[in-house]
Amino acid sequence: MKKNILIVPGDGIGQEVTEVGKKVLEKIAEKFGHEFTYDEALIGHVAIEATGNPLPDETLEKMRASDAVLFGAVGHPKYDNDPSAKVRPEQGLLKMRKELGLYANLRPIKLFDELLEASSIKPEILKGSDILFFRELTGDIYFGEKGRKNDGDTAYDIAEYSRFEVERIARKAFDAARTRRKKLCSVDKANVLETSRLWREVVQQLAPEYPDVEVEHMFVDSAAMMLIKDPRRFDVVVTANLFGDILTDEASQIAGSMGMLASASIGDSTGVYEPIHGSAHDITGKGIANPLASVLSAALLLDISFGLKEESDTIIAAVDKLLKDGFRTRDIADASTPENMILNTQAAGEELLKRI
Ligand code: NAI
Ligand code: MG
């Protein structure tokens, strides 16, 4: 198969982990006889530094022209503590999602057996957890009007959803539930928010079209509690942009670490595959970031954008083997991990390649 993949590492550990993700794609191409070509583009802080724009037109054009995008992360401490900054790395991320129509963000919360002990949640609560989140990605409070009034003393962010936006993400989630354990949990805050009342109304209206899927509605505060109390009760979860952002960082603890969670953003055109984590300033440059979220994002890319299920499964099996062989990165190591089994980013990548 001939495909053109755009590599967009972005900032911080995005650079470090995406390098490993790309090597994994190269190894897969070699093993299975595919012809993948690669191009690279800038986004975020590095793009601002080079061009003044967090999402240069050239990057967007390359994204549109490619068959899939492997993305890292954006963000730099310089902006996080400067509320007055007008140009910010995250603007590039949001604009990319909007421009490419990436309305569905799939976040599989997959717990590798070997990491049962790495989580701060008790193993007997965790064992067998397997959740697929559908986070809506191009609407909600992230994209509504925002600003200041009263001479800057009052700030506002408007949350908005249309019926159309809710329906298209809900349908994706219903369809996915059909291929899994046939349970869909729709998370909202319909007791308080009007956008959530529309959300619930739309999901309720669609439900009769999917009689084989058992639908449950849950308030987001309760869902946050239930994720930790009883993660196994969830199969597919569908939720709004903001709730999904927060709940999936929480759910990363089911999988052991932020460094283990991959995501696929899909919609109207090219799919974008990225770790759920950010640029992690606290560990940038130390070479200790866990590259597995990027590697598992590459696996999602092969499966979803190219239909290469066997290749994708090969990557997941290699990750499983790496963990079974006892190797860990710092974030997923525990007190029982021998120091010589704790690998840096590059070494973890090399051990993984050997197992593909
Ligand atoms: P973060 O996700 O970058 O890091 C949170 C914590 O998890 C940190 O302690 C970090 O060291 C750890 N962590 C994350 N990924 C890891 C990995 N692969 N291996 C080991 N440990 C890992 O979130 P934080 O610190 O809140 O934000 C840092 C920057 O990233 C900010 O500028 C923020 O705006 C940006 N950000 C960007 C995102 C994106 O590009 N999709 C998503 C979230 C945050
Ligand atoms: Mg987040």
Predicted confidence (pLDDT) per residue in 140-160, tens digit:
999 999 999 999 999 999 999
Q: What is the pLDDT of residue 28?
A: 98
Among candidate residues 189, 145, 139, the one with its CA nearest the CA of residue 169: 139
Q: Is 245 annotated as a binding residue?
A: yes
Q: Which of 102, 277, 283 to mutate to test the pocket of ligand 1 (most atoms within 8 A of CB)?
A: 277
Q: What's the CATH fold of domain 1-108+261-356?
A: Isopropylmalate Dehydrogenase (3.40.718)
Ligand 2 centroid–CA 249 distance in Å is: 6
Catalytic position from the list 95, 249, 320, 321? 249
76 close to 285: Cβ distance less than 8 angstroms: no
Predicted confidence (pLDDT) per residue in 228-263, tens digit:
999 999 999 999 999 999 999 999 999 999 999 999
| Ligand 1 pocket residue status of 90, Cβ below 6 Å | yes
| Ligand 1 pocket residue status of 223, Cβ below 6 Å | no
Q: What is the pLDDT of residue 268?
A: 81
For the residues 26-53, what does the mean pLDDT come to?
98
Give residue 117's pLDDT band: very low, low, confident or very high (50, 70, 90): confident
Percent of the chain with pLDDT over 90: 95
Predicted confidence (pLDDT) per residue in 262-272, tens digit:
999 999 889 99
Separation of alpha carbons 349 and 352, rounded Å: 5
Q: What is the pLDDT of residue 270?
A: 95
Q: Is 221 annotated as a binding residue?
A: yes
Q: Indicate if ipTM > 0.95.
A: yes
Sequence ranges of the domains in the chain: 1-108+261-356, 119-255
Which ligand has the shortest distance to the CA of 296?
1
Predicted confidence (pLDDT) per residue in 286-311, tens digit:
999 999 999 999 999 999 999 999 99
| Ligand 1 pocket residue status of 290, Cβ below 6 Å | yes
Q: Which residues of 306-339 are buried (b: 16+ CB within 10 A; e: fewer)?
A: bebeebbebbbebbebbbeeebbbbbbbeeebee
| Ligand 1 pocket residue status of 72, Cβ below 6 Å | no
For the residues 117-125, what does the mean pLDDT come to?
88
User: Can 245 be counted among the known catalytic residues?
Assistant: yes
Catalytic position from the list 80, 130, 245, 320? 245
Q: Is 249 annotated as a binding residue?
A: yes
CATH of the domain spanning 119-255: 3.40.718.10
Host H or E run for residue 342: strand 342-343
Q: What is the pLDDT of residue 269?
A: 86
User: Can 142 be counted among the known catalytic residues?
Assistant: yes
Q: What is the phi-psi region of residue 128: left when phi exceeds 0, alpha when psi lies from -120 to 50, beta otherwise?
A: left
Q: What is the pLDDT of residue 119?
A: 83
Atom 37 in ligand 1: which residue has the minimum CA distance?
278
Predicted confidence (pLDDT) per residue in 97-111, tens digit:
999 999 999 999 989
* 14 pLDDT more than 90: yes
| Ligand 1 pocket residue status of 258, Cβ below 6 Å | yes
Q: What is the phi-psi region of residue 311: left when phi exceeds 0, alpha when psi lies from -120 to 50, beta otherwise?
A: alpha
Q: What is the pLDDT of residue 16?
A: 98
